[in-house]
Chain A
Amino acid sequence: MHTKRKRNLSVTLALLPTWFAAVVVYIGTMFWSIRMSFTDSTLFPSSNYVGFAQYVKLFHSAKWLASLQNVLIFGVLYVSGCLVLGFLLAAALDRKIRFESAFRSIFLYPYAMSFVVTGLVWQWMLNPTLGIQASVRSLGWETFVLDWVVNRNMAIYALVLAGVWQGAGLVMVIALAGMRGIEAEQWKAARIDGIPVWRIYVSIILPQLGPALAAAGMLLAMGVIKTYDIVVAMTNGGPGNSTEVPAKFIMDNLFGRQNLGLATAGATMLVLGVVLAVAPFRYAMYLRSNRAKGAA
């Protein structure tokens, strides 16, 4: 009994710094934000409470509404795009390829680059008068169109393209490593059964990589909510509101527009959205782990 308590003490002590950070920083900031969102704070925190006025303003703001829609579209396409391309690249590299490590480096390097300038390069490349469109047309294909960055309806896909360019390599290494971890016996067995290679990847390997890909997806999702640099560098939210995102909305109002109340209202809605999205998932995990414990 004595040792058990001591053991528990060690665990508690080990987790103390993290508990402290989670409670003081994460929860503390959330409460601070919620409180600020009910005030008329502009440049600095004020304690003049105005009820839900900031929220009313927030949901009357075309920019905010557009940003929610955009981040949803971007998030779904970006995460799934990275996962699909990353998995395909990994599967291709897994097929005993020459220059594997060169290819691997090529697919991974964008992850190391700051978006401040690579965003500008993407802006140039997708700009019809400077980039790929102009080059293809000068080669003779006069009707070729690739104007995503300047086209209201396509600009969000330009962000997705650049985002996938940056993030697919991460999924690739994670998936590739997972594939290397799969037992050789499984391969042999599958080959003996005469199953075609692509079927092996889809029906045998993909399920085994599920958890690894889920972790990769979670990492990417954390990035989605925080999407800021890429937007500022490529489109600055435009044309119109077509690539506005919540993190940029919050940042703009926090500093440039000196509108702390509105910024914190936006952040609060975002936290609420995240909690609503995460809670059922966590609850399911909790139930599952309880069941596992019960079984053991």
Chain B
Amino acid sequence: MARPHPNGPKPAQITAGRIGLYAFLFVAALFFLLPLYTMIVTSLKTMDEIRLGHIFALPEAPDFSAWVTAWSGACMGTVCVGIRIGFWNSVAITVPSVALSVFIGAVNGYALSLWRPRGASVLFGLLMAGGLIPYQIFLYPMVRAMANISLYNSLAGIILVHVIFGLPLVTLLFRNYFVSVPEELCKAARVDGAGFWRIFFEIMLPMAVPMIVVVSMLQFTGIWNDFLLGLVFAGRDNLPMTVQLNNIVNTTMGERTYNVNMAATILTAIVPLAVYFLSGRWFVRGITAGAVKG
């Protein structure tokens, strides 16, 4: 059985090996934390202090005004309401997109690996090749197509786009998951007269809960952080938070307020970060149950 506990013997005493182990972890942690540290201290400085260019120095007097500005006062054009206006749009785009693509991914993975219909490997190959193409090239034809079916500039449209572009990733993960499920399980159920959907809903889906968690988290991060698709397909009433973030951060000839930029970036990432921290245990357990075994 899977053990949600660490391996190896209990550490009896402090050995050179363990000191080395901790040293490695601390150095690695420093490497991973340095950018975040830099962002946080920068966000707490005034622009005058930032201009001096000591990026690792602690702020002389921590100033939280950049955070307030980023959340509720930063200007994007003539509208000065901060990045909060995109928050609910991002939620409205991300939640249904993730739910739908995870469901479709689960069905695909189950059908492709356990039923092996004709053309299964062709379809899988197509999806994998599609997943490797830079998606910018899809923009023109997709925009045309979406306009033709009247979904351009709508919430449904952007959700559909995310689901389509998510297909390679979700199908890959679920297929590799279901491949490791013993075929006998499915065969036995079939002998008992269970159909495609009954086996899926009653046996496979409950078994795949850990994988569903994993795929949801990956898709959540990807869709939440998407900028280009949201900008092009969502329409001005549904623009996600990342478009707001871009409007604050990105400029060619304008002034740059780095402290606000840093705060806005961290604020935008808060939801996916919270999802990681809160379901970190699930993340590990999810994969533990044999999830990403090819």
Hey, which bits of chain A sit against chain B, CB under 8 A?
6-8, 10-12, 14-15, 17-19, 21-30, 32-33, 45, 85, 88-89, 92-97, 100-101, 103-114, 116-118, 120-122, 124-125, 129-131, 134-135, 165, 169, 173-174, 176-184, 187, 191, 197, 210-212, 214-216, 218-219, 221-222, 225-226, 228-229, 246-247, 250-251, 254, 260, 263-264, 267, 270-271, 274-275, 278-279, 282, 285-286, 289
Contacts and interface: CB of A to CB of B under 8 A. Distances in A.
Nearest to A264: B137
Q: Is the interface of B mostly helix, strand, loop or mixed?
A: helix
A222 B170 CA distance: 13
7 contacts: A92-B28, A101-B280, A125-B35, A135-B56, A181-B293, A210-B294, A225-B134
Interface in B232-290: 242, 245-246, 249-250, 261-262, 264-265, 268-269, 272-273, 275-277, 280-281, 283-290
Contacts of B269: 112-114
Given A25-B138, A112-B269, A125-B38, 6 more contacts: A14-B111, A105-B280, A177-B292, A181-B287, A215-B176, A267-B137
B173 interface: yes
A134 B55 CA distance: 10
Contact of B284 (A114, A125, A177): A177
Contacts of B281: 101
B117 interface: yes
Nearest to A282: B125
A15 B108 contact: yes
Given A109-B276, A173-B287, A114 B225 contact: yes
Nearest to B29: A106
A113 B265 contact: yes
B147 interface: no
Nearest to A12: B117
Contacts of A173: 283-284, 287
Contact of A174 (B56, B245, B287): B287
B135 interface: yes
A165 B28 contact: no
B182 interface: no
Given A10-B196, A267-B133, A181 B262 contact: no
A236 to B, nearest CB: 12
B77 interface: no
A109 to B, nearest CB: 6
Interface string B152-192: 00000000000010011101110010000000000000100
A104 B280 contact: yes
Nearest to A162: B35
Contacts of B126: 22-23, 26-27
Contact of B287 (A19, A177, A187): A177
A157 to B, nearest CB: 15
Contact of B8 (A112, A187, A215): A187
A263 to B, nearest CB: 7
A265 to B, nearest CB: 11
A11 B268 CA distance: 40
Contacts of B227: 114, 116, 229
Nearest to B22: A97
A28 B144 CA distance: 12
Contact of A97 (B21, B107, B250): B21
Interface of B: 1-11, 18, 21-22, 24-25, 28-29, 31-36, 38-39, 42, 53, 55-56, 104, 107-108, 111-112, 115, 117, 121, 123-142, 145, 164, 167-169, 171-173, 176, 190, 195-197, 218, 221, 225, 227, 242, 245-246, 249-250, 261-262, 264-265, 268-269, 272-273, 275-277, 280-281, 283-294
Contacts of B137: 29, 33, 250, 254, 263-264, 267
A215 B173 contact: yes
A180 B108 contact: no
A92 B111 contact: no
Given A18-B108, A124-B55, A271 B34 contact: no
A226 B290 CA distance: 28
Contacts of B289: 181
B49 to A, nearest CB: 14
A25 B124 CA distance: 15
Contacts of B3: 180, 184
Contact of A117 (B139, B261, B277): B261
B119 to A, nearest CB: 8
Contacts of A113: 225, 265, 269
A233 B133 CA distance: 21
| Residue of B5, B242, B269, B272 with most chain A CB atoms under a 10 A cut-off | B269
Given A28-B141, A215-B176, A165 B35 contact: yes
Contacts of A247: 134, 136
Given A22-B127, A114-B265, A180 B132 contact: no
| Residue of A32, A125, A215 with most chain B CB atoms under a 10 A cut-off | A215
Contacts of A179: 7
| Residue of A21, A108, A181, A267 with most chain B CB atoms under a 10 A cut-off | A181
